[in-house]
Structure 1
Amino acid sequence: MIKPNLIIVGAGGHAAACVDAIESQGNYEIEGFIGRPSEVGQTCLGYPVLGSDRDLEEFVGKVGFALVAVGGLSDPQTRIALIEKVERIGFKAPTVIAETAYLSESVSVGKGAVIMHGVVVNARAKIGDHTIINTKALIEHDSVIANYCHMSTGVIINGGVSVGRASFVGSGTIVREGVVIGENCFVGMGQSIVENIPSNARR
């Protein structure tokens, strides 16, 4: 069976981690990366950096899917703008779920989401479009992680939690059951979150 082809937009550490998840899933054929102009012509994990974001339109019609794989930006709006550009010029967004992740059959996962190795997503949880659930994170039952979020490595989201659009939760943070985190929040690593957090807050 011929696999649909894919380019990865970004050529940094998160993009490299996405390669491994994509290869383990086995659903897409990676053509290469879109990186910075200074990176064009280089390789990453054996795949070429084919161009920069100024060259994206050249690949429309030749490549069906584009995964925006920039995970470490301090301003989520930069990532969102890039995703919107990629979709506007005609690419489809793949959903990437690493082979070693466990997702309950009742889970829903949006387009462009990336679920990394060792992640557990339990019953009736919802993962939004273009959201990153990073390595060994736990998303418990009935939690909702909205679009454009990033749940970093080892995060524990307990049952019934709601995380708003474009929010980031740092490595190792534990969120108590039923807590509501608003939109565009930044929660640093290693915290215990036991109360609601309003939109646009930094903790």
Structure 2
Amino acid sequence: PVKTIGHRISRIEAHNLGERLDIGCGPVELHDIAGPVNRMLDRLQRAFAQLSQFSSDLAHDMRTPLANMISASEITLSRERSTEEYEALIDSNIEECQRLQRMIETMLFLARADHSKELLRPDVLDCHEEFARLTSYFEGVAENKGVHFAIDGATQVRADPSMLRRALSNLVSNALAHA
């Protein structure tokens, strides 16, 4: 029975994560092994399905800005345009690139958060400088939404720079998306 369980486990791969060990056929002592292995396989199957769905969603989300840039560029290049029209295309492509960049940054953040053993590196940060940097990054999106930033006050905070920037960026991005 131990060899049977070992052989069965060795055959389980990504394409057949639904396979389970038969707990009923074998000595009762092996139930203490087969049960936890089956529960582990349940967790792996759910995690794999979530990862597959995330990858599919991500591919779809990344395809949209790329398709926008390609089609806008092709249309613009189809005939002579004014300098203003070329500048508008470049501005539009920059916004789409920034959108892709935010997606990639989010993916990297999630990967580090799930697997990182790094400690936070807190530092004293000037909030006015951090907000100024952040608002300049989102200025184009804000203008399109009719939103204007006003930074008032000056204080310092002790925080990990990348984590603070990520949190503030998420807040501003969500605020602009729903403004």
**TM-score of the aligned structures, taking structure 2 as reference length:** 0.20
Higher relative contact order (CA 8 A, sep 6+): 2
Considering only CA atoms, is the larger Rg found in Structure 1 or Structure 2? 2
The TM-score with structure 1 as length reference comes to 0.19
